Chain A
Amino acid sequence: MPDAAVAATGGSGWRKALLMAPALAWLGLLIVLPHAELAVLSFREQVGPRHYVPSLSHYREFFHEPEYWHTFVRTAWMSIVATSATLLLAFPIAWVIAKIARGRAAAWLFLACMIPFWISETVRTLGWMILLRETGVLPTLLVKLGILAHPVEFLYHDTTILVGLIYTSMLFMIVPLVSSLESLDNALIEAAYDLGANGFTVLRKIVIPHAAPGITAGCIIVFMLTLGNYITPTLLGGKDSGWFTEQIYTEFITRFDWGQGAAFGFLLLVLSTTIVIAGLKLTGQRFGDVMGRQ
């Protein structure tokens, strides 16, 4: 019995280390090590064959070439738009699942949100292409219905990229929203009505403050996924989608300039971290609270 008690509380240092090992290996081998390597790559410059010197040239290159930082800002802006749109669309769905549907109906609705995720993202995105390309389902249908005179190319627009990103992100917004809305006591909503509030005030004063950690968690997840997405912008936006991950891919794979690619990777990391922190500050929340509540 005392042994079990010791094990349960993690009394022995060895046991604790063993339990932590997978997580530490994950962090160390897959995150810290590659990033350290990338950091080294990004902060040096090749001056001759196999000859490198420490330098900021890769970062300087980013700011000198407008193409690069235009793409950078565009990616950030479109990710913010996609995240906001996902939130606006997911909120009513989450509300129905958490508060209106009962028992089986709620489970079915939840399943309906999840089913698309049983298919790989690439295949799903190709599905969108079949629907939207000039000879695809939607343009043909619109011509048949007499709404369009000629088929129109729906692919390769910013809106198309946004639609694809929102579609891909939906579930990751709905899950934290449902869990935070489910924990909202209906009596609070009734009490607010009883004290004279209307629907809008109930939403603003009761529902949103209560769901704030879920909203923030969903937004962080969706924003990260969107910012780092590669397949969706590339397939739906075409070669000129202007997504920053595509820029990184080009540096590493096409131009074989690992140093430049590593610098871009770091800039993207700084960008996502900055925007997440700014978002938390703006809504007055702490990261620990947001993640701890889920």
Chain B
Amino acid sequence: MNQPDLTAQSVVKRFGDHVAVDSISFEVARGSFFSILGPSGCGKTTLLRMIAGFLAPDGGEIAIGGRSMRGVAPNRRPVNMVFQQLALFPMMSVGENVEFGLARRGVPRAERRRKAEAMLERVGLAGAAAKRVDELSGGQRQRVAIARSLVLEPTLLLLDEPLGALDLKLREHMKIELKQLQAEFGTTFVYITHDQSEALVLSDHVGVMNHGRFEQIGTPQDLYYRPRTPFVAGFVGDSNRLAGRATGIDGDRVRVDTGDGWIVEARRAGEVASADAVEVFLRPEAATLSRPGEASAAPAATHEGVVESLLFDGAKSAVLLRERRSRREVRIALPQTGEFADLKTGEAVAFHFDPARAVCFRARRDGDA
């Protein structure tokens, strides 16, 4: 029962001198939604293509459903893939697209048709079997692509940035739909994306990939609140990044001097010694605004700044400040209470944050950026 559906052990793939996937190991539990998140060129597509069987690893082992996939061709793997551009067959009807895989398995025509229609109904496309692919909207095509794979009841469904081609509104909608489909079918999904919001919203676990390696694998909450590397802190969610030097360490508190007159305190992550070059990441919503002069009951240090610009975006509205001494730009989320609705550009404000919610890493050295 607890056997993982996908296991990768020290998987390596090189293209010439370039190591695209650098000794990666991970497991995906049965029925879970696992995302591989990373910037373009981080090796996530290469990894996915190795799982699908289109590329052979140069080293290491991939097992699906407990069975080693070494030497198993893509058409013999218990894996199906939803392609980036969906790759629906334009020369076939919607129904024929869904039946394609069943026909390859020798399922009789009548049963094929019944299964395809049932599957189309489950993805909300009842009666669309006779339509041509180009008669469908973007979202409907998406569902056909998923139906075409799921009708084969694969152990694993791979999704290669399937929402990339959709417009924003539809993407938001399909995100929710994908999550519901996954929950309903209970199939293990492995999803690759460069969009951190997709990964956070959809996944049970996310692996953040950079330069062919996983920087961190964890739940979305882990990645967001407890990033283990500066890359994860910077890549997942919005952050204010402050470079500086550690001037004092007290347990897991680090006192950081930004070098231009601003002193902040943050939580230590990993090894940080006094006088190290460090990076501090502060989430916009971790800081609290206040009007200057208002007696702040906050135990933390208060910082001062001037409003540079207001970024109104409904619930995600924020304000860009210039910190008074360092002149550094800081982004702070506006509270939902409407308290600062009358904030003006050029106005002086104060802000404070709990040092436990700002995270401090030793700076990456040149070359391992």
Most A CB within 10 A of own CB, among B54, B73, B74, B148 = B74
| Minimum CB–CB distance for B95 against chain A, Å | 14
The 28 listed contacts between A and B (C-beta, < 8 Å) are A187-B83, A187-B85, A187-B87, A188-B87, A190-B74, A190-B81, A191-B81, A191-B87, A191-B88, A192-B89, A193-B54, A193-B73, A193-B74, A193-B75, A194-B74, A194-B79, A194-B81, A195-B80, A195-B100, A195-B101, A195-B148, A195-B149, A195-B152, A197-B75, A198-B104, A205-B89, A205-B100, A210-B91
The reply on A201 being an interface residue by CB < 8 A is yes
Contact A192–B83 (Cβ < 8 Å): no
List, in ascending order, chain A residues with CB within 8 A of B75's CB: 193-198
List, in ascending order, chain A residues with CB within 8 A of B149's CB: 195
Most A CB within 10 A of own CB, among B73, B87, B152 = B87
List, in ascending order, chain B residues with CB within 8 A of A197's CB: 75, 100, 104
Number of interface residues of B (CB under 8 A): 25
Apart from the given pairs A191-B89, A192-B100, A201-B104, 20 other A-B contacts in the complex at a CB distance below 8 Å: A185-B85, A187-B83, A187-B84, A187-B85, A188-B87, A190-B74, A190-B83, A191-B83, A192-B89, A194-B74, A195-B101, A195-B148, A196-B76, A197-B75, A197-B100, A198-B75, A205-B92, A206-B91, A209-B91, A210-B91
The reply on B169 being an interface residue by CB < 8 A is no
The reply on B365 being an interface residue by CB < 8 A is no
The reply on B349 being an interface residue by CB < 8 A is no
Nearest residue (CB) in A for B151 is A195
Identify which of A193, A194, A196, A206 contacts B89 (C-beta below 8 A).
Answer: A206
Nearest residue (CB) in B for A189 is B87
Within 8 A of B (CB), among A147-200: 185, 187-188, 190-198
Nearest residue (CB) in B for A212 is B91
List, in ascending order, chain B residues with CB within 8 A of A195's CB: 75, 80, 100-101, 104, 148-149, 152
Contact B89–A188 (Cβ < 8 Å): yes
Report Cα–Cα, A205/B74, bound state, in Å: 17
- Chain A residues near B (Cβ < 8 Å): 185, 187-188, 190-198, 201, 205-206, 209-210
The reply on B272 being an interface residue by CB < 8 A is no
The reply on B18 being an interface residue by CB < 8 A is no
The reply on B173 being an interface residue by CB < 8 A is no
Contact B85–A196 (Cβ < 8 Å): no
List, in ascending order, chain B residues with CB within 8 A of A187's CB: 83-85, 87
| Minimum CB–CB distance for B85 against chain A, Å | 6
| Minimum CB–CB distance for A7 against chain B, Å | 35
Report Cα–Cα, A205/B89, bound state, in Å: 9
Nearest residue (CB) in A for B149 is A195
Most B CB within 10 A of own CB, among A188, A191, A209 = A191
List, in ascending order, chain A residues with CB within 8 A of B52's CB: 194
Report Cα–Cα, A191/B148, bound state, in Å: 10
Nearest residue (CB) in A for B96 is A205
List, in ascending order, chain B residues with CB within 8 A of A188's CB: 87, 89
Nearest residue (CB) in B for A202 is B75
Report Cα–Cα, A194/B104, bound state, in Å: 11
Report Cα–Cα, A34/B101, bound state, in Å: 57
List, in ascending order, chain A residues with CB within 8 A of B87's CB: 185, 187-188, 190-191
Given the known inter-chain contacts A195-B80, A195-B100, please indicate yes or no for A190 contacting B89, CB distance below 8 A: no
